[in-house]
A and B are shown apart, each in its own frame.
Chain A
Amino acid sequence: MDLLGLVGSITMLNVIKFLLVVLLSVYSLFAMLMMRQIVAMTKAVAMRDDFVIRLLGTINFVFALMVLILAIFIL
């Protein structure tokens, strides 16, 4: 009965929120991998001003985390 009630209380918006949070979590992991790969590559080949690309990788990761937190709190 409780289970049925629980299932009944799940709305379409709950499902969308759940899917968004899962997607954004996976993307955050991907962004972290990307950041680590950039660090590994700039170690393999060091270039002038290559901090710029490391900075872009970090911005991508921070952006992904921010959107994930936003999704958890405002939805």
Chain B
Amino acid sequence: MSDQPYTGPGQQNTETSQHTGTPPAPTHTEDGSTGGELATRYENPGIAPHAYRRSDIDPKAARRREIEVAGLFGLSTLGTVLFIVGFFAVKLADVPGEEMLWRVGLSTKLLGTGLGIALFLIGAGAIHWAKTLMPDDEVVSERKPLRSSDDDRRAAVESLKEGAGGAGLGRRKLIRNSLLGAMAPLGLLALIPLRDLGPLPGAKLTGTAWKPGRRLVTDPLGNPVRAADLRIGEVVHVLPEGIEDMPQSLEEKAKATTIVIRLEPDDLKQDPARADWSYNGIVAYSKVCTHLGCPVGLYEQRTHHLLCPCHQSTFDVTEHCKVIFGPAARPLPQLPLDVDSEGYLVSRDDFQEPVGPSYWERGERS
């Protein structure tokens, strides 16, 4: 804003005000140019004539605006009252579960609405006030040079020199050197956390908790699955038996999670090399998507398609879960199945390839 005191609309003298629409003289910078070639080709249009607001001209309108602003502030008080009432009226203690849940909901809604109304309307009132009643004259203010005055610059250099002399950096070598010695290893603090990038996962990515002869148990109940109990079109989500007792069992579950599906044996188009991996139309595949590792669990019984919920990769269970749609690049790894002497499904071996998404060294499995 200008340095001149506000004298009311239409009352300024022409020296301080640009309301009259007279363009200000072109401003000259130090090297004397006026913005180069453009300034000579085009006339400076100046500032557009000032448009007065209704509240500037009509005292009645100004009064109305005043009442509006006061109204907004007044309504804000209602929000504050709502907050206070909500805080004391909704008691959260001594009520049973479901009623409690309902009351917590009501309480947060009242507090939030009250606080929101109170704060928003104060802001809205202030803005309305500023826009309609406070002065809105256009004012030209010359840009001041960024460079400090020569006197200030000289004084700054002097005080720096004085400070350095007083600290005795040149004389007290011990302090200077120990300070440098303390600062140099600081760089290590930036480097040392990089250690958390390792160590390399080793065999963790290539193997899962499935081992030869391990029973398939249902997730989450942990019941073993008898091959004869599975009906055509049935799906069971399984984990290897005993995974709960393994160290880091959550991570192991995430890798070993498997879906077992029974199809009509004639529907399977099996690779002869994997013919003994299935049993009576029962097949098992890793549930970890080969794209980004989401759980592939949506099985369409009639089309025999397995879908990944994240990016719609679709795997055809009848053809070793080959990818028929979506961004996944590899089929889901198949778990070789067998049946033990009591008729329960067991794993013949671990997955024969790493489960889940690709990674750099995936091809170098030892």
Do A and B interact? no
